[in-house]
C-alpha cells in the first residue's frame, strides 16, 4: 500500500499562493495503487463484528449519522419531522443516542434550527449551489452566508469539479478558502464528488487540495450522481487525512456519503477507520456518515440486539 510522504515539506500553507507550486505539489503526491487499495478495502470488509462489539459499533454509527434530506420536494413539515427523529431516533428506547447532525438545503435551515436548538445535534446545510457547484462564486458565497445566518453550524460545500478536472487547482483552492471565510465559525465540509473524479489519484489530490485550503472535513459525494461513497475511495481519503495530520499536525474529518444503506456497510467503514487512521477518528467530530435510510437499518439492528427478535420496517418512521 502506498502512503504519502510529506516529511520534506516544511510549510504547506505557502502552496496556495501560486498555481505552479500547487500543481507541482499535487502531482508530486505518490500515485494510488488501485488494485492494492481495492483489495485492502475488500479485506477489511470481511471482519466479523458481533455481540457487544456490534452493539457499540451500532451506537457509534448512530451518533455519526448526518441524517440527510436533499430533495426538491422537502417541506418545512418534513424537515421538522426529520429533525425530531434526529433527536430521538428510537422513541421506544431512551438509551438510543441522538444522531450527529441533520443535513438539509439552506432554505430549510431555519425550520430545523427551531427543533434542534440546544440539543447538541449539529445542523449542516449544503451550500455553494449544491450539487453541481456550477454557479458564479458570489452566488455560492451568498448561499453559504445565508445558510450560516439561518443557523447552520456546518456547511457542506461542493468543489468546482469542472475546474479541478481541467487542472485549474488554484481556482478550486481559492473557492474553498473563500467559502471557509464565508462560513465563519461553521465547520466546513468539502464535497469532492469522487464519482466524478475518475481516478483514485484525483481523489488523493482533491483531498489534499481541500485540506490545504482549510476544509475541516472531506466528504466523498453529494449523493446525486450514480457512483457515491465506496470503501476504496474512503480508504484513499482516510490515508490522506492521516498523512495530512502527520505533515501539519491538523486533524481533518472524513464523511462518506451516499449509498451506505445497511448496518453491515457502516461497520465496514468503522473497521476501516480504526485500521487506517486509528481510534482518534472514531468519533462523531471526526467521522460522519451522510445517509438517510442507513439510520432505520441501524435502529432495526439495534432492536434485534436488545430484543433478540428481527425487527421490521413497519415499526420505524419512513423518511
Question: In the bound complex, what is the minimum distance in angstroms from residue 250's beta carbon to another protein?
Answer: 43
Q: Hey, what's the cell of 35?
A: 488494485
State the DSSP H helix or E strand holding residue 191, giving kind and residue range, or none if neither. strand 187-191
* Catalytic residue of the set 90, 156, 243, 297: 156
Which class for 145: exposed (0-12), middle (13-18), buried (19 or more C-beta within 10 A)? middle
Q: What is the rounded distance in angstroms from the CA atom of residue 90 to the CA atom of residue 19?
A: 50
Question: In the bound complex, what is the minimum distance in angstroms from residue 314's beta carbon to another protein?
Answer: 7
Q: What is the rounded distance in angstroms from the CA atom of residue 100 to the CA atom of residue 222?
A: 18
- 3 touches another protein by CB under 8 A: no
> Which are the contacts of 61, defined by CB distance < 8 A and separation ≥ 6?
263, 266, 267, 270, 289, 294, 298
Question: In the bound complex, what is the minimum distance in angstroms from residue 201's beta carbon to another protein?
Answer: 37
Q: State the binding string over 112-151 for another protein (x if CB under 8 A, else -).
A: ----------------------------------------
* Catalytic residue of the set 140, 219, 243, 268: 219
State the Cα torsion 252-258-261-262 to the nearest 10°. Answer: -30
- To the query of whether residue 219 is one of the catalytic residues in this protein, the response is yes
Query: CA nearest 141: which of 129, 151, 131, 132?
Result: 129
Question: In the bound complex, what is the minimum distance in angstroms from residue 38's beta carbon to another protein?
Answer: 23
Strands (E), 148-186: 154-158
Nearer Cβ to another protein, position 13 or 50? 50
CA-to-CA dists, residue 35 to 31, 216, 242, angstroms: 12, 29, 20
- Enumerate residues 75-104 that contact another protein by CB under 8 A: none
* Catalytic residue of the set 85, 180, 189, 255: 255
Tally of CB atoms within 10 A around 310: 9
Question: In the bound complex, what is the minimum distance in angstroms from residue 315's beta carbon to another protein?
Answer: 6
- To the query of whether residue 255 is one of the catalytic residues in this protein, the response is yes
Nearer Cβ to another protein, position 240 or 294? 294
- Enumerate residues 285-314 that contact another protein by CB under 8 A: 308-314
Q: Could you give the residue numbers annotated as active site?
A: 156, 219, 255
What residue ranges bind another protein (CB under 8 A)? 308-315
Amino acid at each position: 500500500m502506498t502512503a504519502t510522504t510529506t516529511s520534506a515539506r516544511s510549510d504547506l500553507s505557502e502552496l496556495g499562493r501560486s498555481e505552479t507550486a500547487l500543481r507541482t505539489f499535487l502531482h508530486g503526491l505518490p500515485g494510488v495503487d488501485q488494485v492494492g487499495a481495492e483489495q485492502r478495502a475488500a479485506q477489511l470488509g470481511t471482519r466479523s463484528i458481533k455481540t457487544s462489539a456490534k452493539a457499540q459499533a451500532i451506537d457509534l454509527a448512530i451518533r455519526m449519522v448526518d441524517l440527510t434530506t436533499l430533495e426538491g420536494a422537502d417541506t418545512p413539515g418534513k424537515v421538522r419531522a426529520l429533525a425530531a427523529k434526529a433527536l430521538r431516533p428510537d422513541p421506544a428506547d431512551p438509551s438510543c443516542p441522538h444522531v450527529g447532525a441533520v443535513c438539509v438545503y439552506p432554505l430549510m435551515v431555519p425550520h430545523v434550527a427551531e427543533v434542534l436548538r440546544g440539543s447538541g445535534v449539529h445542523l449542516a446545510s449544503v451550500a455553494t449551489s449544491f450539487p453541481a457547484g456550477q454557479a458564479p462564486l458570489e452566488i455560492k458565497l451568498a448561499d453559504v452566508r445565508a445558510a450560516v445566518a439561518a443557523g447552520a453550524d456546518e456547511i457542506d460545500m461542493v468543489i468546482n469539479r469542472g475546474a479541478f478536472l481541467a487542472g485549474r487547482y488554484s481556482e478550486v483552492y481559492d473557492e474553498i478558502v473563500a467559502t471557509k471565510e464565508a462560513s465563519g465559525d461553521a465547520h466546513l465540509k468539502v464535497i469532492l464528488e469522487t464519482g466524478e473524479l475518475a481516478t483514485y489519484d484525483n481523489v488523493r489530490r482533491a483531498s489534499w487540495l481541500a485540506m490545504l485550503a482549510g476544509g475541516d472535513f472531506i466528504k466523498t459525494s453529494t449523493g446525486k450522481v450514480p457512483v457515491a461513497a465506496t470503501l476504496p475511495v474512503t480508504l484513499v481519503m482516510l490515508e490522506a487525512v492521516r498523512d495530512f495530520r502527520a505533515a501539519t499536525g491538523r486533524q481533518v474529518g472524513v464523511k462518506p456519503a451516499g449509498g451506505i444503506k445497511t448496518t453491515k456497510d457502516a461497520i465496514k467503514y468503522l473497521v476501516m477507520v480504526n485500521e487506517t487512521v486509528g481510534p482518534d477518528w472514531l468519533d462523531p467530530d471526526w467521522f460522519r456518515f451522510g445517509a438517510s435510510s442507513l439510520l432505520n437499518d441501524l435502529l432495526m439492528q439495534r432492536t434485534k440486539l436488545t430484543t433478540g427478535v428481527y425487527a421490521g420496517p413497519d415499526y420505524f418512521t419512513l423518511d
